[in-house]
Amino acid sequence: MSQQEVVYLDGNYTPKFKASLSILDRGFLFGDGVYELIPIHNKKIFYMDDHFKRLKKSLELINIDPIIVDEIDFEKIINSLIVSNDYTNHFIYIHISRGVDNFRNHIYTENITPTVLVMGEKYQPFGIEHIKEGKKAIIEDDYRWLKSNIKSTSLLANVMIKNKANSYDAYEALLIRDGFLTEGSASNVFIVKDQIIKTPKLSNKLLPGITRKFLTDIISMHTLTFEESDISKDALLDSDEIFCSSSTNPVVPITQLDNKLISNNAGPMTMTIYNHAQDFIKGFQK
């Protein structure tokens, strides 16, 4: 982190290493808040309207008035951080917690002022060699709560699961609930079988990923065959290709799942979608 890097916290622009919060912030005490991670490509905010729509939905679902997203000029704040911190290809993290309460109590005081943080995060996406080679994933039970459609800052289960994957040298854990694929610990999951691209349909069991939406736009732009459908654990293991999607890495091929080799390298359909996505991002000027 550069000493000069600036973040936005509750109306003020502050150096990142100096920004601090009250210990009574409910985000700190309870993980009582929601967030967004938005890619910046060519200094422009990627899929901005979709990210803000999801942020409002997440706020609504945890009973924080989503009007805050209209009242605060996030676009101006993000553009100001892009200029002050010279972000070209970067990520913006927005965190809204319920705010600072008078004491630690599960029951919140109604209408306290939410805490709002906007800061840049640097993630290095995988280079082409890593993509072509593909990554390993493990299968894990989806033991998270049943409101995984909320982009909640309470990420303990996801943290535990992703660290388990990491301990197996795997990029991701693909989650199974009641015998069916939901998503990854920090990504959505697509499979390819007999030239058909499939992903689980949206529900309370998975996050409506913005990259998932971006890729379905790419898929329809290029008239590839696609369906949203239930994917059983057996069907997952029997896939011709698998890939994960997220804002940090739009398309990550999974070539090994537990001990099962899915493919020797990233599959052809995965690479087609990866290349189309990269072309779109390179040309992205909003």
Residues annotated as catalytic (active site), given as ranges: 151
Give the 3-state secondary structure of residue 285. coil
| C-alpha to C-alpha distances, 285 to 43, 136, 196, 247, 259, nearest whole angstrom | 8, 33, 31, 17, 42
Q: Give the SS3 label for residue 94.
A: strand
Q: Output 136 or 212, the one with its CB closest to ligand PLP.
A: 212
Q: Which of 27, 114, 120, 209 binds ligand PLP (CB under 6 A)?
A: 209
- Choosing from 115, 153, 154, 187, the residue that interacts with ligand PLP (CB under 6 A) is 187
User: Which two structure tokens, joined as six digits, stand for 2?
Assistant: 């550069």
Q: Which of 58, 153, 199, 211 binds ligand PLP (CB under 6 A)?
A: 211
DSSP conformational letter for 50 = H
Q: What is the DSSP letter of 35?
A: E
Considering beta carbons, is residue 58 or 246 the nearer one to ligand PLP?
246
- Which residue, 207 or 242, is less far from ligand PLP as judged by CB? 207
Binding to ligand PLP in span 66-125, by CB under 6 A:
none
Helix (H, G, I), strand (E, B) or coil at 2: coil
Q: Of residues 58, 154, 188, 216, which one binds ligand PLP by CB under 6 A?
A: 188
Q: Is residue 246 at the binding interface for ligand PLP, with CB under 6 A as the rule?
A: yes
The answer to whether residue 207 forms part of the interface with ligand PLP (CB under 6 A) is: yes
Distances 150 to 131, 137, 138, 147, 264 between C-alpha atoms, Å: 29, 24, 24, 6, 35
Q: Applying CB under 6 A, what is the total number of residues that bind ligand PLP? A: 14
Residues engaged in binding ligand PLP (CB under 6 A): 37, 158, 183, 186-188, 207, 209-212, 245-247
